[in-house]
Structure 1
Amino acid sequence: MPLPSTLVAPIAVTPLWLIERVARTIFAGVLRAHPDLFERLGEYRQTRYCFSPSDLPLNFVVVPATRTLNVSRKPQKPASDACIEGPLVLLLGLLEGRCDADALFFSRDLTVTGDMEAMLALRNALDDSVIDLPEELGSLAGPLAPFVTGTARYIRKQALEGKAATWN
């Protein structure tokens, strides 16, 4: 399920520094809640992982060893060692372990390029993480946490309907 154009259009004109700041804040929150998230990567901690939502004009590059996240606009292709492309809701579903990566790959809902072993190592690292993005977003919302968490859970449920068969 691609994002509606009414959500994508504002992102195309939002300053990149603002998008990157929001993404880094969420990323830092996830890392605080899951400090050992990247420990299982071993030699792949140095890998530059690119996440390219097919329904957004953005790319996200994560380097586990330095705990950094950088955002770039498409069509620019950022330097990376392994890249996964697909609809944003599926990429987020993979992050949370709510989607079957193999099924999505073989159904061509996702495209993986570059170092496949690094991607498999990342998938295995995420298997044990039990990330709950609505909860993470709620933790950043202060007194609005219950509203933000509930709304994000509802959106996730609707967006992943039919895609939520987990691999773990």
Structure 2
Amino acid sequence: MSTGVHTVSPARLPGGGVVSRLACAVVQPILSRVVRRIAARHPSLFARLGPHQGTDFLIDPVDLPFALHLRPDPGALLFRAVPRDAVPQAGAVIRGRFLLLLELVDSEEDGDAAFFSRDLEVTGDTEAVVRLRNALDDVDGSIAEETAAMFGPPGRAVLARLRRAYTPEMERT
């Protein structure tokens, strides 16, 4: 039975907007490095997006104190953490648990199944979301692993820990 997608309001987070802004400040340099490196290594991602390169995507990991704003325009590439009380207008919103979103990036999770089980919520321009999904599906290898490798052994250890922490007990045995 699915628990569905639950959003976390800034007021329910410890420190509210302060925690969200601090988390954004901490992760932003990492996001900037990651998006530049992934774009350089996988330029075909942009071609697959076609007219949706200029679409603003709001990626909302509901269990984190911030959301992510992605504009996959190779001429004005943007990937930034945004406080929950200051999210920008977006052409498409993708909302779910952090690890589910991470698994979707690497095609480890069935996006359709997650959507229909209500573990994933998609609103706005669904064609743009489908194009983004197809572009990510075409990437050889794991973007999550590639990102972790940018930070060496500590990055790989963090990714492994995240995956273990989010893996249901039944799947570990």
Q: Distance in 2 between matches of 1:80 and 1:30?
A: 22
Partner secondary structure for residue 108 of structure 1: coil
Q: Which residue of 1 aligns with 2:123?
A: 113
- On the 8 A contact 1:50/1:62 being kept in 2, the answer is yes
Task: Give identity over the alignment, percent.
Answer: 30
Question: What amino acid is the match of 2:149?
Answer: G
Q: Which residue of 1 aligns with 2:107?
A: 97
- Aligned ranges for residues 1-168 of structure 1 at < 5 Å? 12=20, 14=22, 16-65=24-73, 66-129=76-139, 130-139=141-150, 141=151, 145-153=152-160, 155-156=162-163, 159-160=166-167
Does the C-alpha gap of structure 1 residues 160 and 98 become closer, same or farther in structure 2, counting only changes over 3 Å? farther
Q: How many residues align?
A: 154
- On the 8 A contact 2:23/2:66 being kept in 1, the answer is no
Q: CA RMSD in A?
A: 2.7
Q: Residue deviations 1:38-92, cap 9 Å, x none?
A: 2101111111111011111211111111221132111333111000001111111
**Unpaired segments ≥5 residues, structure 2:** 7-12
| TM-score, length-scaled by structure 1 | 0.77
Q: Distance in 2 between matches of 1:71 and 1:24?
A: 10
**Unpaired segments ≥5 residues, structure 1:** 3-7
Does the C-alpha gap of structure 1 residues 106 and 28 become closer, same or farther in structure 2, counting only changes over 3 Å? same
- On the 8 A contact 2:59/2:67 being kept in 1, the answer is yes
